[in-house]
A and B are shown apart, each in its own frame.
Chain A
Amino acid sequence: MNYAMALDYQNCINCKACEVACKEENGVQLGADKQRIWVGVVEGTIFGKPFANLYPSQCNHCIDAPCVSVCPTNASHFAEGGIVKVDPHKCILCKGCMEACPYDARFVDDTMVAVDKCTFCDHRSLEAGGTTACQATCPTKVRLFGDLDDENSDLVKLLKTKRFFFQKEYTNTLPKLFYILPDDEAYAKQSVSHDTIIHTWEDIKPLYEEAKNRRSKEWKK
């Protein structure tokens, strides 16, 4: 089991149904600052012509997660399938993980007095084919949750046919949100900066398998 998610972000319409679904499913604290998942918006103009790019995002569940290695009490840990989770009873609120996370995926949940983050909805019986609330609710099918180890899963089938990139790959944390490069070349050029590295499944697979074998000893059942 090595859970991951692919995001066909060109389909995103910024309806934020995923944010609401996540809050309702997981009982997340209310407040605009308290989001487990979010839609990143990049706006600008090219020669006076305005554009907006939408990057739906959440915790990347990195294989080499910096938030886990800085946690003093092991409250941040890897659960089964490489899901990065926080044990709220162990969190001493040092907020080191919030500083260490390159994606700002964590926040302080004041109802629990602990740091909270995306769990890939691991209570929704993922092994039996369950999926995350954000994928289930998305009206334009942006998100696809799946298992990287299973060659027959929809996720790997999709990754084999498409090219993709990662957010902030230079931090070397091996993130597991795969952003699918749009087929439309013009849209792809506009939404991906020129120094972003584009990957294919063949070139990324050995790297991720090796990293998984290295770190999966720490994954708790």
Chain B
Amino acid sequence: MEKITFAGLEINKISIFGLLFNKTMLLGYFFMALAMVGIYEIFDVRYFSAAANAHASGLNPTDPALKEAMRLAVFGDVGEVNRNIPWTLFIVNYMYMIYTGSGVIFIVALAELMGFHVIAKAAAGFMAVGLSMVFAGLFTIATDLNMLNMLWMVLTPNISAGMWLMLPLYCTYIPFVLFEIYLLLTNKREWAKRLALPILVLSIGVDLVEYYIQAKLFSMNTARHLWTEFPFLTFYFIISAFVSSLGVMGIYSYLVHKNKEEYNELMDLIRKAMLFFVSILALYEVFGYMTVDKDWSFFNSFRPI
């Protein structure tokens, strides 16, 4: 196939039509359509659904739309979130995507550092998967937040808040990972090789910082007992992210490397690592059940159902 060389990268030359309409992109369009439905729903409920306040009936007592809104408020369900479950499926999806995605990136960097050549050969593909999952997570959270007021993140920042630290974190994390992928793909081998090790060590540091900030953010969630306390939560997040990202790496290997000769070795490695991290996670959970909140564990284990 014809190649274009751009900044040391070799890119396959295909037509615009071939780029936009192929099997992979059609799957992508399907997911984008689903995302559009989700965005439509959240915007509909947030900005266009009827919500009445206590003064409305006094100001405009004969409005039939207001009457319907009041009926819905009192006899039905109103609003996008309930006060006892402020963090909904959006946050669940965000956490899964972000943790698994950055877990993939973290694991690949660790494997490269420890000298697993099979992983190192497929590293760029894995990292791209991880980064796209991070993007999916960020997209989810952008849908959930009120983006109209996002400017205040810059104008009046509260720099000690975990939630605010996400902004500088991802502003550095994403370019950093992109650069890492570039280094893996580029054919300007000379300086890429020289940069590889420091960037690798730095990326592991960035990954640790990321999980640390995530733990700072989510430790306020007091209802999740097994998540224990910040900063121990960092390790829990890292281990559980490893488990789910190894699963994603397994699926990716099955889809991409199935007909290649390194497939068996790759899968074997993933299987072993998975077993290792699942057992660590199990130990952690057992330990958590025994130490974190005994009343809660007892209630959860032995309550009549």
- A interface residues, Cβ below 8 angstroms from B: 23-24, 26-34, 66, 69-75, 89-96, 98-100, 102, 104, 106-111, 113-114
Q: Tell me whether A33 and B78 are in contact in the complex, defined as CB-CB below 8 angstroms, given that A107-B83, A108-B86 are known contacts.
A: yes
Whether B220 sits at the interface, judged by CB under 8 Å, is: yes
Q: How far is the CB of A47 from chain B (nearest CB, A)?
A: 22
Distance of A70 Cα from B163 Cα, bound (Å): 7
Shortest 9 CB-CB distances between A and B: which pairs?
A72-B164, A98-B86, A30-B73, A72-B163, A95-B86, A73-B152, A93-B146, A27-B55, A23-B54
Whether B149 sits at the interface, judged by CB under 8 Å, is: yes
Whether B254 sits at the interface, judged by CB under 8 Å, is: no
Distance of A99 Cα from B156 Cα, bound (Å): 21
0 or 1 for each of B82-102: is its CB under 8 Å from A? (1 = yes): 111011000000000000000
0 or 1 for each of B61-89: is its CB under 8 Å from A? (1 = yes): 00000000110011000111111101100
Q: How far is the CB of B151 from chain A (nearest CB, A)?
A: 9
A73 touches B146 (CB 8 A): no
B163 touches A31 (CB 8 A): no
A30 touches B86 (CB 8 A): no
Distance of A75 Cα from B86 Cα, bound (Å): 17
Whether B162 sits at the interface, judged by CB under 8 Å, is: yes
- Pick from B44-52, B119-127, B258-266, B267-275 the stretch touching chain A: B44-52
B220 touches A96 (CB 8 A): yes
Whether B158 sits at the interface, judged by CB under 8 Å, is: yes
Subset of 7 A-B contacts with CB under 8 Å: A27-B53, A30-B73, A31-B74, A71-B161, A71-B163, A98-B86, A99-B222
Contacts of B80 in A (CB 8 A): 108, 110
Whether B217 sits at the interface, judged by CB under 8 Å, is: yes
B78 touches A110 (CB 8 A): yes
Contacts of A70 in B (CB 8 A): 161-163, 220
Distance of A111 Cα from B80 Cα, bound (Å): 11
- Identify which of B70, B84, B149, B160 contacts A69 (C-beta below 8 A): B160
Q: Tell me whether A93 and B54 are in contact in the complex, defined as CB-CB below 8 angstroms, given that A30-B70, A31-B74, A104-B84 are known contacts.
A: no
Distance of A109 Cα from B56 Cα, bound (Å): 14
Whether B157 sits at the interface, judged by CB under 8 Å, is: yes
Contacts of A95 in B (CB 8 A): 81, 86-87
A29 touches B51 (CB 8 A): yes
Whether B1 sits at the interface, judged by CB under 8 Å, is: no
Q: How far is the CB of B90 from chain A (nearest CB, A)?
A: 10
Task: Kindly report which residue of chain A lies nearest to residue B69, judged by CB atoms.
Answer: A30
Distance of A89 Cα from B156 Cα, bound (Å): 12
Distance of A34 Cα from B83 Cα, bound (Å): 8
B46 touches A92 (CB 8 A): no
Task: Kindly report which residue of chain B lies nearest to residue A20, judged by CB atoms.
Answer: B54
A96 touches B83 (CB 8 A): no
Q: Tell me whether A94 and B145 are in contact in the complex, defined as CB-CB below 8 angstroms, given that A30-B53, A30-B73, A99-B220 are known contacts.
A: yes
B157 touches A72 (CB 8 A): yes
0 or 1 for each of B144-179: is its CB under 8 Å from A? (1 = yes): 111111101101111011111011000000000000
Task: Kindly report which residue of chain B lies nearest to residue A106, judged by CB atoms.
Answer: B83
Contacts of B69 in A (CB 8 A): 30
Whether B5 sits at the interface, judged by CB under 8 Å, is: no
Contacts of A71 in B (CB 8 A): 158, 161, 163
A31 touches B145 (CB 8 A): no
Task: Kindly report which residue of chain B lies nearest to residue A29, judged by CB atoms.
Answer: B53
- Identify which of B46, B145, B222 contacts A102 (C-beta below 8 A): B222
Task: Kindly report which residue of chain B lies nearest to residue A76, judged by CB atoms.
Answer: B158
Contacts of B51 in A (CB 8 A): 29-30, 110-111
Contacts of B70 in A (CB 8 A): 30
